[in-house]
Structure 1
Amino acid sequence: MPTQEQIRTCFILCYRNTKMYLPIYLVTVDKRTKNVVILVGEETEIVIYPNGKWRYL
């Protein structure tokens, strides 16, 4: 289950990416690290850490 910070950040990032007409292909939680992973467009991967911080991979 994602944390409140991850949920908030995920919503903001998904909103920003779909506003640029990029498709969101996958949103999932990595069970080992508890990170939320978002696959956007053809080659963009975003990781959201449990504290709500995020980065592109």
Structure 2
Amino acid sequence: MPTVEQLKTLFILSFWATKMYLSVFLVRIDQRTKNIVILAGEENEIIIYLNGKSRYV
């Protein structure tokens, strides 16, 4: 289950991705690290850590 901070960040990043007309293809929780991984658009990968911070890969 995601943390509250992760859910807030997921909502904000999903909003901005769709606002820029990027398709969100995958939202998944990594079972090893408990990070959320988002695949959006052609080559955008976003990782949301447990503390709600995110990183574009």
Give me the TM-score of the superposition, normalised by structure 1: 0.98
- Structure 1 stretches lacking a partner, 5+ long: none
> Identity over the aligned pairs, expressed in percent?
63
Q: Which runs of 4+ in 1 moved over 4 A?
A: none
SS in 2 for 1:31: coil
| Residue number in structure 1 paired with 2:28 | 28
Deviation at 1:4, TM superposition (A): 0.3
Structural RMSD (CA): 0.4
Give me the TM-score of the superposition, normalised by structure 2: 0.98
- Structure 2 stretches lacking a partner, 5+ long: none
